Amino acid sequence: MQAVKPELETNKLPILKTALPGPIAQQVVADDAKYISPSYTRPYPLVVKRAKGAMIEDVDGNVFLDFNAGVAVCSTGHAHPRVVEAIKNQVDDFLHVCTADYYFPSLPKLAQKLSQLAPGAHDKRIHFGNSGAEAVEGAAKLAMYATRKHKFIGFFGAFHGRTMGALSLTASKARQRAGFGPQALDVTHIPYANCYRCPYHLTQQTCGALESKGPHCARVIEDLLFKTTVPADECAAVVLEVVQGEGGYIVPPASFLSTIRDIADRHDILVIADEVQSGFGRTGKMFASEHFDFVPDILTAAKGIASGIPLSATVARADLMTWPPGAHASTFGGNPVGIAASLATIELLEEGLIENAARMGEYLLEGLRDLMSKHALIGDVRGKGLMIGIELVKDRTTKEPHAEALKQVEQTCFQRGLITLGCGTSTIRLSPPLVIEKDQCDFAIKTLDDAIGMVK
């Protein structure tokens, strides 16, 4: 095995050696273009050779600072030695037995840990899958099975995955649906609690968010939907992201979640919290729900759960997960390598990485908010922990999204060795590994400052 280059082990900031993309990267991108599905969304030509901590080395020897973490996946950083060791130990023992058919000790161990960590003191049961979309599919199926109802309420801007059931809940971008015909699930979408650009043109002072009745955007479920298109006695669940991810890293007011919880309880409807992106320490708590004292009936987790090995979990109230053998399972879901990686990941998160996410998140938010006085292009800076969005607008008064500026900032950051990714219409998403340090945050702030300043 080739040793990791020392500079990747020790260097914490980018080193660019070639023009980007370098010659080898160009060749890989050309090969890729011939054979790989064009449905993938590549923002710029990052061609990875290896990665460690928050650093990625490309095939031409350029080193980048990763503020994306494979879209919020490499929670403990790339190839954390403790995660790698846990994976290697598991690989030496066995790679696979079908979790649906056989037993192994680490499976209930992780399930027990997740049931303790997920919000709510009630007993829980876990179903393991391979991806976020699969966890959402499991949650939706379980909600239908447990309630014997079939309608769902979701939110515009939501992203829950692209498999047919999850896609029915996704309402993020038209191209994710275009050409795929009727949806599998019966979902009614309503606007999410986006206080920066309230879809009802209200403010927190006028919408009820600060009063006991709760915000209008949550109350419409009872006041409008139940009376028109979604009879409550046919509604299985409300499905929401606790912090909306792909839709633009949008943090709702706590009363949005508590009002939905109340409405759901009054009408015997379940609440599914999709914490695929916001979970596993990213927001400075194990789950974002904890920031809001929010307890869903079913929670989905994936992405950061195993630091980069495919694994997902549908965590449900034990009294709901009563489906019989054969009702729901998959060949690879809960693969032992993923389970081992997840147990090591949780240890590292609990030993300090969640705390680091909270601390570095505050530091970044402060530094980025300071940039607002310099760049009128920045309409909003928001987030929790290391789930931070910078929304770019053409005009702060009209708040017209500046999608072209987002593209330019992404490109400039890449050219300077900082890996970022957009979300929503014009939001720069920062989702670095939870191991990042202060000087890396300083580099990111400075690079973003320059990149935003260069927008034409």
Site residues (vs ligand PLP, CB under 6 A): 131-133, 136, 159-161, 241, 245-246, 274, 276-277, 302
- 69 neighbors 432 (Cβ within 8 angstroms): yes
* CA–CA dist 356, 271 (Å, integer): 30
DSSP, residue by residue, 271-288: EEEE-TTTTTTTTSSSSG
Least Å distance, CB 243 to ligand PLP, is 9
Least Å distance, CB 361 to ligand PLP, is 18
Least Å distance, CB 50 to ligand PLP, is 23
If we measure between CA atoms, which residue out of 435, 445, 291 comes closest to residue 359?
435
Helices (H), 313-427: 336-348, 354-371, 403-415
Nearer to ligand PLP, 377 or 434 (CB): 434
Least Å distance, CB 166 to ligand PLP, is 7
Least Å distance, CB 72 to ligand PLP, is 7
Tokens encoding 98:
């079908």
Residue 55, phi then psi, degrees to nearest 5: -110, 140
Nearer to ligand PLP, 133 or 321 (CB): 133
Nearer to ligand PLP, 8 or 114 (CB): 114
Least Å distance, CB 136 to ligand PLP, is 6
Nearer to ligand PLP, 72 or 377 (CB): 72
Element (H, E) at 189: strand 186-190
Q: Which residue is nearest to ligand PLP (CB)?
A: 132
Least Å distance, CB 159 to ligand PLP, is 5
Tokens encoding 205:
């002072």
Nearer to ligand PLP, 167 or 295 (CB): 167
* CA–CA dist 47, 384 (Å, integer): 30
Residue 219 gets the label, from left (phi > 0), alpha (psi -120 to 50) or beta, of alpha
Return the DSSP state at 307.
B
Nearer to ligand PLP, 5 or 177 (CB): 177
- 426 neighbors 393 (Cβ within 8 angstroms): yes
DSSP, residue by residue, 143-178: HHHHH---EEEEETT----SSHHHHHH--S-GGGTT
Least Å distance, CB 417 to ligand PLP, is 25
Strands 63-66 and 124-129, by their bridges, are unpaired
Nearer to ligand PLP, 72 or 236 (CB): 72
Neighbouring C-beta atoms of residue 449, cutoff 10 Å:
16
Q: Which amino acid is at 297?
A: D
Q: Which amino acid is at 64?
A: F
* CA–CA dist 183, 256 (Å, integer): 27
Least Å distance, CB 256 to ligand PLP, is 16
Nearer to ligand PLP, 226 or 292 (CB): 292
* CA–CA dist 18, 28 (Å, integer): 16
- 344 neighbors 309 (Cβ within 8 angstroms): no
Nearer to ligand PLP, 107 or 313 (CB): 313
